[in-house]
Structures are given as C-alpha cells and as structure tokens.
Amino acid sequence: MATIYIGIGSNIGNREENCRKAIKLIKENGIAVKKESSMHETEPWGVKDQPKFINMAIEIETNKKPEDLLGILKNIENQMGRTESVKWGQRIIDLDILLYDDLILETPHLEIPHPFMHEREFVLRPLVEIAPDKKHPVIGKTIKEMLSVLNN
C-alpha cells in the first residue's frame, strides 16, 4: 500500500461542500482516506482576479499506480463539473497528487512530487496538519520546514 497526499481546492459554488463531495467520491473509488486536514480559505495563486479558495489536504492509501490514481482524480473532477479554463483560473474542484510515498516521477502528464508544492502556502498549511514530518523526496525538508521557510 502506498501512502499518498492529495491537495484539494475549490473556489466556485459551495466550496466546502465541493471538497467534501470530492473526498466522498475518492472513497467510492475504493481508496482509503486515512487523514483529512481542516479547510483553509486562501487567496488565489497565479491568477489573482477570482474568488478565494477553500484548500485542504488528505492522506490516502491505495495500491493504484500513480497514473491510474491520476485518472481517477481527473474523472472525479470531470464528474463534479470541472471544465478546462485559464491556467490557475477558478474551478469547482482541483485534485492534485502532492506526494506518493517517496516516489520521484516525471512524465508528460504527471510530476511527483508536485512541482510547486514547496512554493505554495495554500498547499503546505493544510498538509502540515496531517504530515508535518513527511520529507519532500527531492528537497529533503519536512513539510513543517518548508512552511517555515515560506513564512520567513
């Protein structure tokens, strides 16, 4: 079983309910959700002229390969009504694989660990609640350490 961390975000409609529904759909796909962070309201990143986000993180366990897990997450996004729009634009739901055990993977469709996670407080703040001592396999710092670097 792999231990994987997923970032969840929403800034359209009932943001909290969208996050809860995404977690429910992840469970319905046979994936064990082990931990959930609290929900954090955050400023948009990249494209500033849009509503605030609700962001959270979850820890899951599954035997699914990274590409198969990505397919499930994309299907959930589509099922919930996400459509492709402007990069970093508003969205009903966003599901990102942040960490997958200590795997380092780069394909045309998937990069693990998530390439921007160490730069984004909206990713690290919820993640530090559920995995403060988890080390980034490339950077070598814990989630707690990466968040403290951002806050200085």
Cβ neighbour number for residue 78 with a 10 Å cutoff: 12
- Asked if residue 136 belongs to a domain, the reply is no
Q: pLDDT for 62-121, tens place per residue? A: 999 999 999 999 999 999 987 776 566 678 899 999 999 999 999 999 999 999 999 999
Q: In whole angstroms, what is the distance from residue 56 CA to residue 139 CA?
A: 22
- Asked if residue 72 belongs to a domain, the reply is yes
Q: Which of 74, 87, 99, 83 is nearest to 7 (CA)?
A: 99
For 45, the domain range is 2-114
Annotated catalytic residues are 82, 91, 94, 96
Domain count, the chain: 1
Cα torsion for 143, 39, 57, 107, to the nearest 10°? -100
CATH number at residue 6: 3.30.70.560
Whole-prediction pTM: 0.94
- Asked if residue 128 belongs to a domain, the reply is no
